[in-house]
Amino acid sequence: MIKEEELDLLLNELFQRYGYDFTNYAKASLKRRVNRLLTIDRFTSFAELFYRIKNDPDYLTHLVEELTVNVTEMFRDPALFKTIREQVLPVLATHPFIRIWHAGCSTGEEVYSMAILLEEANLLHKSLLYATDINPSVIENIKKGLFPLSQMKQYSENYILSGGKKDFSSYYMTRYEWAKFDERFQSRMIVATHNLVSDRSFNEFQLIFCRNVLIYFDKELQDKVLTLFDNSLERLGFIVLGSKENLRFSEIAGSYAQMENKEKIWRKMR
Amino acid sequence: MAKNAITKYQYVVIGGSAGSLEIILKLIEKLPEQPKATFILVVHRKNDKDSILENLIANRTRLKVKEVEDKDPIQINAIYIAPPDYHLLIESEELFSLDSSEKVHYSRPSIDVTFESVAYMFGNSVIGILLSGANADGAAGLAQIKKSGGYTIVQNPSTAEVGFMPQQAINLIEVNNIVNADELAGLLEQLLTPQLS
Q: Which pLDDT value is given to residue A143? A: 94
pLDDT tier, A156 (very low <50, low <70, confident <90, very high otherwise) = very high
Residue of B69, B83, B97 with shortest CB distance to A28: B97
Annotated active-site residue in B105, B110, B125, B137:
B137
Every domain of chain B and the residues it spans: 11-189
For A267, the 3-state DSSP assignment is: strand
Least confident among A136-140, A233-237, B27-31: A136-140
C-beta neighbour count of A235 within 10 angstroms:
11
The third-level CATH classification (topology) of the domain covering A78-268 is Rossmann fold (3.40.50)
Phi, psi (degrees; rounded to nearest 5) at A4: -55, -45
Interchain CB distance below 8 Å, B89 and A29: yes
C-beta neighbour count of A5 within 10 angstroms:
9
pLDDT tops 90 at residue B183: yes
pLDDT tier, A260 (very low <50, low <70, confident <90, very high otherwise) = confident
pLDDT tier, B51 (very low <50, low <70, confident <90, very high otherwise) = confident
C-beta separation of B17 from B43 below 8 A = yes
DSSP structural state of residue A197:
T
Separation of alpha carbons A267 and A258, rounded Å: 6
**B111-122 vs B139-147: helix crossing angle, rounded to 10:** 10
Average pLDDT over residues A248-270: 94
Q: Which pLDDT value is given to residue B4? A: 47
C-beta separation of B166 from B180 below 8 A = no
pLDDT tops 50 at residue A261: yes
Average pLDDT over residues A246-257: 95
How far off is chain A from B182, nearest CA to CA, in Å?
Answer: 34
Separation of alpha carbons A143 and A164, rounded Å: 24
Dihedral angle computed from the Cα positions of residues B67, B58, B104 and B93, in that order, rounded to the nearest 10 degrees: 60
- Chain A neighbors of B82, CB-CB under 8 A: none
What would the pLDDT profile of B126-181 be if each residue is shown by its tens digit? 999 999 999 999 999 999 999 999 999 999 999 999 999 999 999 999 999 999 99
pLDDT tops 70 at residue A41: yes
Interchain CB distance below 8 Å, A28 and B117: yes
B182 among known catalytic residues: no
Mutate to test the interface with A, among B91, B98, B108 (most CBs of A within 10 A): B98
Separation of alpha carbons B104 and B101, rounded Å: 9
For A101, the 3-state DSSP assignment is: strand
C-beta separation of B110 from B137 below 8 A = yes
Domain B11-189 has CATH 3.40.50.1970: no
B137 among known catalytic residues: yes
Annotated active-site residue in B44, B112, B117, B132:
B44
Q: How much is the ipTM here?
A: 0.93
Q: What is the pTM of this model?
A: 0.94
Phi, psi (degrees; rounded to nearest 5) at B116: -65, -40
Q: Which pLDDT value is given to residue B3? A: 46
3-state per-residue secondary structure call for B18-38? CCCHHHHHHHHHHCCCCCCCE
pLDDT tops 80 at residue A84: yes
Every domain of chain A and the residues it spans: 4-67, 78-268
Average pLDDT over residues A11-15: 95
Roughly how many angstroms between the first and final C-alpha of chain B, as a whole number? Answer: 11
B122 touching A, CB under 8 A?
A: no
Q: Which pLDDT value is given to residue B40? A: 98
pLDDT tops 60 at residue B197: no
Mean pLDDT of chain A: 96
B44 among known catalytic residues: yes
Q: b/e per residue, A203-230, with b = 16+ CB within 10 A? A: eebbbbbbbbbbbbbbbebbbebbebbb
